[in-house]
């Protein structure tokens, strides 16, 4: 019976996804470490390559480095001393996440084809220039919520749901279970890392 194939085996080209960086503006070092830490952990876990932080926060960057050493991958927190310069010189599309922007679903089909994306999230106050400097202002549901939620939904929409795959170099690995907690050490942690 014919298969409809031409005889040569076709391999489907793997779907390439954009390399995503995140810029968090309006961070308040020492004042809201938990919220910005959640932005960083969310960016890392859902597939972003790096987080730029304005203003820079070396303590937070060190904490995230420790997370990456334990849980793997190559995520980094980089200082963004001059956020405007970073946005202007970024070699890709700058996507400002704001409740006032265009619906994510409308712009996502174009964004997934980009090579590099910079997703920008704000804090309590967002510099008005950002709306003009961004390639596009994008909203997740045209209602006020949070930078963590907006970032998470956008990353899943653009990169897909994260899998349970263990990132390269991970020393710790979660064993998914329906009940209880199981973490295995793939490489023994030093006493300092185990804390």
Residue 152 C-beta: closest distance to ligand SAM, Å: 11
DSSP element (H, E) containing 70 = helix 58-71
Alpha-carbon distance 42 to 45, whole Å?
5
Alpha-carbon distance 52 to 116, whole Å?
14
Residue closer to ligand SAM, measured from CB, 141 or 160: 141
Residue 156 C-beta: closest distance to ligand SAM, Å: 14
Residue closer to ligand SAM, measured from CB, 48 or 121: 121
Residue 96 C-beta: closest distance to ligand SAM, Å: 7
Residue 195 C-beta: closest distance to ligand SAM, Å: 32
Residue closer to ligand SAM, measured from CB, 5 or 128: 128
Alpha-carbon distance 112 to 90, whole Å?
17
CA atoms within a 13 Å half-sphere pointing along the CA-CB vector of 64? 29
Name the residue whose CB lies closest to ligand SAM.
122
What is the DSSP code (8-state) at residue 25? -
Alpha-carbon distance 187 to 170, whole Å?
8
Residue 49 C-beta: closest distance to ligand SAM, Å: 19
CA distances from 1 to 4, 5, 66, 118, 134 (A): 9, 11, 58, 50, 55
Residue closer to ligand SAM, measured from CB, 42 or 98: 98
Residue 160 C-beta: closest distance to ligand SAM, Å: 19
Nearest-5° angle of CA 36, CA 38, CA 44? 105
Alpha-carbon distance 24 to 155, whole Å?
15
Report the interface residues with ligand SAM, using CB under 6 A. Answer: 97-100, 121-124, 126, 139-141, 143-147, 150
Residue closer to ligand SAM, measured from CB, 73 or 127: 127
Number of other CB atoms surrounding residue 17 within 10 Å: 15
Task: Quote the tokens at residue 4.
Answer: 């409809």
Residue closer to ligand SAM, measured from CB, 33 or 123: 123
């Amino acid at each position: 019976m014919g298969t409809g194939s031409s005889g040569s085996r076709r391999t489907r080209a793997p779907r390439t996804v954009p390399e995503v960086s995140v810029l968090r503006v309006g961070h308040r070092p020492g004042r809201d470490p938990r919220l910005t830490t959640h932005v960083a952990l969310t960016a890392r876990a859902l597939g972003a390559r790096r987080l730029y932080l304005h203003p820079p926060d070396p303590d937070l960057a060190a904490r995230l480095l420790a997370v990456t050493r334990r849980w793997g991958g190559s995520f980094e927190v980089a200082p963004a001393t001059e956020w405007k310069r970073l946005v202007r010189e970024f070699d890709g599309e700058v996507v400002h996440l704001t409740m006032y922007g265009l619906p994510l679903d409308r712009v996502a089909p174009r964004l997934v084809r980009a090579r590099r994306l910079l997703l920008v999230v704000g804090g309590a106050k967002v510099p008005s220039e950002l709306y003009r400097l961004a390639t596009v202002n994008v909203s997740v549901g045209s209602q006020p919520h949070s930078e963590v939620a907006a970032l998470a939904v956008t990353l899943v929409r653009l990169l897909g749901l994260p899998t349970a795959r263990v990132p390269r170099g991970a020393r710790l690995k979660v064993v998914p279970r329906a009940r209880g907690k199981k973490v295995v050490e793939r490489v023994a942690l030093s006493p300092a890392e185990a804390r």
